[in-house]
Amino acid sequence: MDNIPEKVVGLAWRAIRHYLEHGDKYIPDAKEYTEELFLKENGVFVTLKKFNKLRGCIGNIEGNDKVYLSIVDNAVAAAFFDPRFPPVLAEELSEIELEVSILTKPRRFNYENIDELIAFLEKDKPGVIVEHDGLTATYLPSVWEELPKVADFLTSLCLKAGLPQDIWQTEKITIRTYKAIIY
């Protein structure tokens, strides 16, 4: 049986290298990706780091294609089309670490009060989506490593969404959560 983590990460690297060399999309052979994980339509994020600093991160929360195809699309997008960073150069590849996160379907977290929300997030450390007045943003579960305090995490996430930083404390906003399998 194939090693799934190596296959997931290897596919992302193949997509990036192919784009660097040929300037077009890598088309994987569907016969090589028959495991259940690759055929699901889950959300996928690809994160690139260089010297432990973000170098690109693109993904989709909701699955809109088979996982193996989303890995290809998001790997290329993270490496070459994340508007926060210049495109990755061939000479950088040896300095870049790549992480693929395959998400579970987001679920709304209904809470009665802030204490209940804080307790849940402290315990589970899930990926979180905030939504309010048409504005939305998400942080993957791995962001808890950088922002381990719930207050800091939610404040930063609200700012990312373009919301007031304290809105999660003053109003009832929509919170959806998800888990991620990280490769």
**Domain hosting residue 13, numbered range:** 4-103
97 with 115, same domain? no
* CB atoms closer than 10 angstroms to residue 3: 9
Q: How far apart are CA 158 and CA 153, in angstroms?
A: 9
Residues 140 and 52 in one domain: no
22: which residues sit within 8 A by CB, 6+ positions away?
none
Number of domains in the chain: 2
Name the pLDDT band for 102 (thresholds 50, 70, 90). Answer: very high
Instruction: Clarify whether residues 68 and 143 are in a common domain.
Output: no
**pLDDT tens sequence across 10-34:** 999 999 999 999 999 999 999 999 9
Asked if 161 contacts 129 with a C-beta cutoff of 8 angstroms, the reply is: no
Q: Examine the fold and report which residue of 54, 88, 103 is the final residue of a domain before the chain moves on.
A: 103
pLDDT tens-digit series, residues 54-98? 999 999 998 889 999 999 999 999 999 999 999 999 999 999 999
- CA distances (Å), origin 111, targets 63, 122, 127, 164: 26, 14, 16, 20
Same domain, 73 and 138: no
